[in-house]
């Protein structure tokens, strides 16, 4: 098991910058605005051979009970409680502030080991601020600069005594470990449709902050979960609005984080509001996921508010198949994150969508299908010349991708390619998953 390190501190001291530096990639949103991070973010990393499980937290601050600030503090306290060691970050330029004293008091009462880091120590001018940190009672501070990558060797040496022997890893990870990774599941949708509430209901705890105010979630929130014996990495994401309406810099960064989560997910739950499901932005999001080639499940939230459920569901089914033919037959699950209604049907639909997404069809079976499809509906002639389709094979799964070989295939009309794809969906049981068809035309030896 890796060493769990919670990065804590008051707002705007550079916690997320340090988190990204240690993770080796840009995972958390970074901005000069205080309070950008609201939920916990996780990343597996290694620092000079030391395996780490990093936890980025919201800036620790006090606020009225039930306020967003207070609930952010609860998330940070949960991170401290679950950590093996806490990395307490202060701003060396500002010195020790009243906010730092509040964090220090909380860490002392937690009983957890604490390593003190004075961030933004790029020059000797910040030494005075770092020296003030002795007064916090956590020993000698480590002077580092998350932005410039300074002081990481000293940080590694400070973390090493808290690590177990198995945390010291060899450089090469086995291929079996990489193949047996957890299912990566993302929850996406428009703002304020109940994505975070759905995540909390699914895992049975308040993992993501919720609020009636749109835009509460900024970073993609990661929750590690186990369901039906399967390890799952569950991502809650920021709401996706129409591009023309995105003006603020922070929202642009949040959207970028959501798109990153979509790109690296295996299956995606698209959450829609039952009152206005499948409006234009819902269709745009679903089309984006289909173009990325991800398995997709529609979750229609707030179903407890729907009156005529049978007619409403029938209308949703017809509209999905008509407006999104590229994922016709995609599963639709009606849920209520508020009451828990229908939640038990969601993960079976996800597992089924992932199974279809992983489908492989033997080449012999494919070509028997192709022969029947061509006899039922031969390809049209192009400029008086017959298009010859010779055979097909499956290049890969995830999503199912097929390659068609023949002559003049680039001239085939879209309608005929749709006919082949729809026939494959029916023949091989591929409803609701993106199906890709690549064309490989033989070179004409007489062209030159």
Give the 3-state DSSP-derived string for 300-316, with helices as H, strands as E and coil as C: EECHHHCCCHHHHHHHH
Shared fold status for 3-173 and 363-441: no
In angstroms, the CA 159 to CA 177 distance is: 25
pTM assigned to the model: 0.64
**Helices and strands of the chain, counted as H and E runs:** 13, 17
The C-alpha angle with vertex 157 and arms to 152 and 158, in degrees rounded to 5, equals: 95
Q: Give CA 147 to chain center in angstroms.
A: 25
Instruction: Tell me the CATH number for domain 3-173.
Output: 3.40.50.300
In this structure, what token pair is assigned to residue 84?
Answer: 């093996």
Where are the domains positioned within the chain?
3-173, 181-357, 363-441
CATH topology assigned to domain 363-441: GMP Synthetase; Chain A, domain 3 (3.30.300)
DSSP H helices in 216-362: 249-264, 280-292, 309-323, 346-357
Confidence (pLDDT) at 337: 92
For 146, the enclosing helix (H) or strand (E) is none
Confidence (pLDDT) at 178: 36
CATH topology assigned to domain 181-357: Rossmann fold (3.40.50)
In this structure, what token pair is assigned to residue 407?
Answer: 């002559």
pLDDT along the chain (448 residues), means of 10: 89 87 71 56 82 84 63 82 92 88 90 91 66 84 86 88 61 41 89 88 71 51 82 82 50 62 87 92 92 94 94 95 93 94 95 94 93 93 83 91 90 91 94 92 64
With a CB cutoff of 8 Å and minimum separation 6, the contacts of 319 are 278
With a CB cutoff of 8 Å and minimum separation 6, the contacts of 246 are 252, 255
Q: What is the sign, positive or negative, of the torsion defined by CA atoms of 115, 116, 119, 123?
A: negative
Q: What is the sign, positive or negative, of the torsion defined by CA atoms of 308, 311, 313, 316?
A: negative
Confidence (pLDDT) at 299: 96
Q: How many CA atoms lie within 13 A of 394 on its CB side?
A: 20
In angstroms, the CA 378 to CA 202 distance is: 49
């Amino acid at each position: 098991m890796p060493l769990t390190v919670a990065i804590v501190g008051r707002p705007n001291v550079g916690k997320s910058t340090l988190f990204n530096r240690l993770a080796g990639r840009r995972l958390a949103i970074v901005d000069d605005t205080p309070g950008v991070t609201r939920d916990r973010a996780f990343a597996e990393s290694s620092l000079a051979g030391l395996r780490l499980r990093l936890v980025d937290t919201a800036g620790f601050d006090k606020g009225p009970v039930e306020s967003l600030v207070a609930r952010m503090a609860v998330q940070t306290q949960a991170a401290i409680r679950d950590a093996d060691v806490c990395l307490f970050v202060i701003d060396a330029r500002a010195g020790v502030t009243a906010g730092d004293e509040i964090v220090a008091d909380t860490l002392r009462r937690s009983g957890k080991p604490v390593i003190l880091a004075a961030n933004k120590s790029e020059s000797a001018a910040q030494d005075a601020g770092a020296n003030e940190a002795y007064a916090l009672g956590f020993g000698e501070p480590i002077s580092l600069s998350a932005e410039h990558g300074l002081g990481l060797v000293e940080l590694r040496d400070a973390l090493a005594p808290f690590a177990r022997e198995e945390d010291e890893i060899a450089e090469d990870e086995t291929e079996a470990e990489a193949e047996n990774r957890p299912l990566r599941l993302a929850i996406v949708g428009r703002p304020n449709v109940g994505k975070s509430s759905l995540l909390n209901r699914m895992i049975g705890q308040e993992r993501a902050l919720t609020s009636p105010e749109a835009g509460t979630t900024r970073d993609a929130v990661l929750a590690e979960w186990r369901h039906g014996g399967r390890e799952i990495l569950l991502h809650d994401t920021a709401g996706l609005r129409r591009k023309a309406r995105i003006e603020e810099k922070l929202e642009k960064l949040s959207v970028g984080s959501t798109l990153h989560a979509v790109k690296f997910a295996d299956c995606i739950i698209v959450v829609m509001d039952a009152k206005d499901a499948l409006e234009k932005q819902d269709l745009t999001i679903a089309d984006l996921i289909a173009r990325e080639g991800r398995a997709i499940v529609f979750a229609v939230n707030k179903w407890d508010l729907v009156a005529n459920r049978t007619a409403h569901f029938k209308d949703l089914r017809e509209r999905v198949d008509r407006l999104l033919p590229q994922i016709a037959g995609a599963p639709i699950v009606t849920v209520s994150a508020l009451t828990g209604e229908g939640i038990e049907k969601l993960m079976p639909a996800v597992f089924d969508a992932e199974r279809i997404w992983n489908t492989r069809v033997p080449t012999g079976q494919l070509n028997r299908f192709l022969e029947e499809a061509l006899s039922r509906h031969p390809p049209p002639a192009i400029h008086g010349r017959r298009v010859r389709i010779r055979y097909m094979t499956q290049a890969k799964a995830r999503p199912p991708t097929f390659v068609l070989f023949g002559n003049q295939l680039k001239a085939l009309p879209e309608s005929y390619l749709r006919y082949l794809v729809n026939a494959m969906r029916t023949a091989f049981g591929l409803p609701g998953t993106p199906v890709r068809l690549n064309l490989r035309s033989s070179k004409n030896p007489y062209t030159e």
